[in-house]
Chain A
Amino acid sequence: MSLLLDVRNLSVLFGGVLALNKLSLKIAAGEIIGLIGPNGAGKTTAFNVVTGRIKGSSGSIFFCGRDITGWSPSKIARNGIARTFQSIKLYEDLSVIENVMIAAHSSISYSFLEAILGLGRFSRDESRIRYRAFELLELMNLQELAAERASSLPYGSQRKLEIARALALGPKLLLLDEPVAGMNPTETREFGDFILRLRDNLSIGIGLIDHDMSFVMEVCDRIRVIDHGVPIAWGMPTQVRNDKDVIAAYLGVGFGTATGGHAAN
């Protein structure tokens, strides 16, 4: 398995607040990595730095062997990192299919003059993009909503649409920020299966943030836990689940030591 993302000693300073302190994270192709931690731990900040929205204070980010530290968000996206957002960011006033088609903008080969004149490359590219967008909507089971306005979709479908849009970019690495937030247990289970299928079929790397522990433990190959910006644990779900620091971070120190003490006894 080839290494896709390699985050080395990444720190982010907001004024005087250390939002991330020397985070290291590796994601290989065909791997699902979870990033968990209590609220405000810096999980989304980590995604924002990797996708170029926030500049890190120190440390470096490598993607497919290239140093992408400090690249612009659009350049990083064009190089193969797609993401979804914690608060859904769709192009609300556009149709569902247009939302997906937009992500293919970087793949067009025609110039604006060809678009105006409607020359050969234009219609070939357009039908390719439209066809691909339909395929992705079918994959997410949204094909019947293709002509609807994105904002008129129910919450769960909006989440799915965001993933379809991210996949339209043709990414090597997909970063999902709380993909199952607001889904019921059945939907969450279906989504977990979907993610696993996605990884197997496309052999892409997936990084995900979520608070639904059973979901995270179920789908992730490895988990990185952070608390107040500090990475506190790294390992298989079973290891992380029983880690003393993780329990302390989630449930409080007193409880953590109590159970720890109990376990020691």
Chain B
Amino acid sequence: MKFMGGFLKVTKRRDGTLTAFSIIVLLFFLFYADQNLDSYTVRILENVAIFITLAVSYNLINGVVGQFSLAPNAFLAIGAYTSAIFTLSPEEKLRSFIIEPMLWPLSVMSFPFAISLLLAGIVTALVAVMMAMPVFRVRGDYLAIVTLGFGEVIQVLANNFLSITNGSLGLKGLYPYTNLWWAWGFCIFTVFCTVRLINSSYGRAMKAVREDEIAAEAMGINALRIKTFAFAFSAFFQGVAGGLLAHLVTTISPSLFTFMFTFNLLIIVVIGGLGSTTGSVIAAVLVTWGNEALRIFEEPSNFFGYQYEGIPGMRMILFSVILILVMLFARNGIMGRSEFSWESLLQWFRRKTPALRV
């Protein structure tokens, strides 16, 4: 036991150093990207960061607590609208709310970007807590349907609360605050918080609920409470990500937050491996970046003298084929339920390079 403790402490310190080092490398890369890469590539990188944020927090509900929720588009919409409402200046609000003027206190409120993001997260988390009570009365497929309905309800509300959301006209002319630093900074923060949470007793309780709810309750875990907590936790991050997304695309309307958004996230967490944060990160990068990379098949090109015209929509076909292949050959996703650890990576290196073994 004592020996084990010492060993754990040493590896912990080493892992901490390696993690810090890799974050610094990532930051250097972002600095380089910010200075040298074209705006299209930078935009993809920003999208990747937002999708990692969304996927990791979505995975907490669907993979770790094992509750099949289809609500992220709703959370995203709530976060996006909240932060957009709070960053628009009173003059802009006056100008864009042409059907119906904006509700009074909101129409004169204007906050810095950071505060609007925080508010977006808090409001979304509160909505999640209120929602949890009715929603978690059901499980499995029924839960999926109820949360799907919730997403639709939010969209209808956004279309009809003219004095708050400006209806289907949406909110335009948001200042593009979201840059590489905001997106990746928050992405790293989300992954850090989520991983720490999963590795605590709270995370274990969540996994217990996923594995066997009856046994979890028999061990003193209040399943409803832990589900509500996880729901609010992931809603917070999804809300902030919604705010970031709003200030990246600069125009939001209810039609932006359709079920397709949830569907994309679902694809990401399933491909990555339900329950694996590492898998969610990898899949978010692959899917978001890959979707753009596949565009070359839609452009005219010359294959060894054969003139290819380029077929619009080709990337979606290829994407589907890749999805099918992944599901055929890696049924539990890329990572299954396993997580990345420095120990396993180092061991893999030791195996590959026996000459360097000390």
A-B pairs with CB below 8 Å: how many? 108
Min CB gap A171→B, angstroms = 10
Question: Residue B201 contacts which of A93, A105, A166 (CB distance < 8 angstroms)?
Answer: A105
Q: Which residue of A lies closest to B211 (CB)?
A: A91
Cβ–Cβ < 8 Å partners of A104 in chain B: 201
Q: Mark A84-104, 1 if CB is under 8 A from B, else 0.
A: 010001111110001001111
Min CB gap B119→A, angstroms = 19
Q: Which residue of A lies closest to B196 (CB)?
A: A116
B201 and A126 contact, CB distance less than 8 A: yes
CB of B260 within 8 A of chain A? no
Question: Residue A89 contacts which of B200, B215, B229 (CB distance < 8 angstroms)?
Answer: B215
Known contacts A106-B221, A108-B201, A112-B233, A53 near B214 by CB under 8 Å: yes
Assign chain A's interface to a size class: 35 or more
B200 and A165 contact, CB distance less than 8 A: no
Q: Which residue of A lies closest to B4 (CB)?
A: A134
B196 and A73 contact, CB distance less than 8 A: no
A73 and B218 contact, CB distance less than 8 A: yes
CB of A72 within 8 A of chain B? yes
Min CB gap A258→B, angstroms = 43
CB of B193 within 8 A of chain A? yes
- Identify which of A12-20, A75-83, A217-225 touches chain B: A75-83
Min CB gap B188→A, angstroms = 13
Question: Residue A102 contacts which of B216, B229, B233 (CB distance < 8 angstroms)?
Answer: B216
B212 and A91 contact, CB distance less than 8 A: yes
A90 and B201 contact, CB distance less than 8 A: no
Cβ–Cβ < 8 Å partners of A83 in chain B: 218
CB of B339 within 8 A of chain A? no
Interface of A is mostly: helix
Q: Mark A224-258, 1 if CB is under 8 A from B, else 0.
A: 00000000000000000000000000000000000
Q: Mark B173-202, 1 if CB is under 8 A from A, else 0.
A: 000000000000000000011001100111
Q: How far is the CA of A89 from the CA of B200 in the complex (A)?
A: 22
Cβ–Cβ < 8 Å partners of A169 in chain B: 219-220
Q: How far is the CA of A265 from the CA of B231 in the complex (A)?
A: 71
A77 and B218 contact, CB distance less than 8 A: yes
Cβ–Cβ < 8 Å partners of A125 in chain B: 201
A116 and B212 contact, CB distance less than 8 A: no
CB of A156 within 8 A of chain B? no
Cβ–Cβ < 8 Å partners of A92 in chain B: 211-212
Min CB gap B2→A, angstroms = 11
Min CB gap B125→A, angstroms = 12
Q: Which residue of B lies closest to A89 (CB)?
A: B215
Q: How far is the CA of A169 from the CA of B218 in the complex (A)?
A: 10
Question: Residue B197 contacts which of A73, A78, A115, A168 (CB distance < 8 angstroms)?
Answer: A115
Known contacts A105-B201, A134-B1, A51 near B218 by CB under 8 Å: yes
CB of B222 within 8 A of chain A? yes
A91 and B208 contact, CB distance less than 8 A: yes
Known contacts A83-B218, A169-B220, A93 near B1 by CB under 8 Å: no
Q: Which residue of A lies closest to B275 (CB)?
A: A93
Q: Mark B337-354, 1 if CB is under 8 A from A, else 0.
A: 100000000000000000
CB of B227 within 8 A of chain A? no
Cβ–Cβ < 8 Å partners of B216 in chain A: 74, 91, 102
Min CB gap A126→B, angstroms = 7
Q: Which residue of B lies closest to A83 (CB)?
A: B218
Known contacts A90-B215, A101-B204, A112 near B220 by CB under 8 Å: no
Interchain Cβ contacts under 8 Å between A and B, 13 examples: A74-B220, A74-B221, A74-B222, A78-B220, A89-B212, A91-B207, A93-B211, A98-B207, A102-B201, A106-B220, A115-B196, A134-B1, A168-B219
- Can you list the 10 inter-chain pairs with the closest CB atoms, starting with the nearest? A115-B200, A91-B211, A77-B220, A89-B215, A106-B220, A73-B217, A78-B220, A103-B219, A74-B222, A116-B196
Interface set of A (CB-CB < 8 Å, partner B): 51, 53, 72-75, 77-78, 82-83, 85, 89-94, 98, 101-106, 108, 110, 112, 115-118, 122, 125-127, 129, 131, 134, 165-166, 168-169
Supply 6 further A-B pairs (C-beta < 8 A) apart from A112-B197, A117-B196.
A53-B214, A77-B217, A93-B337, A94-B204, A115-B202, A165-B219
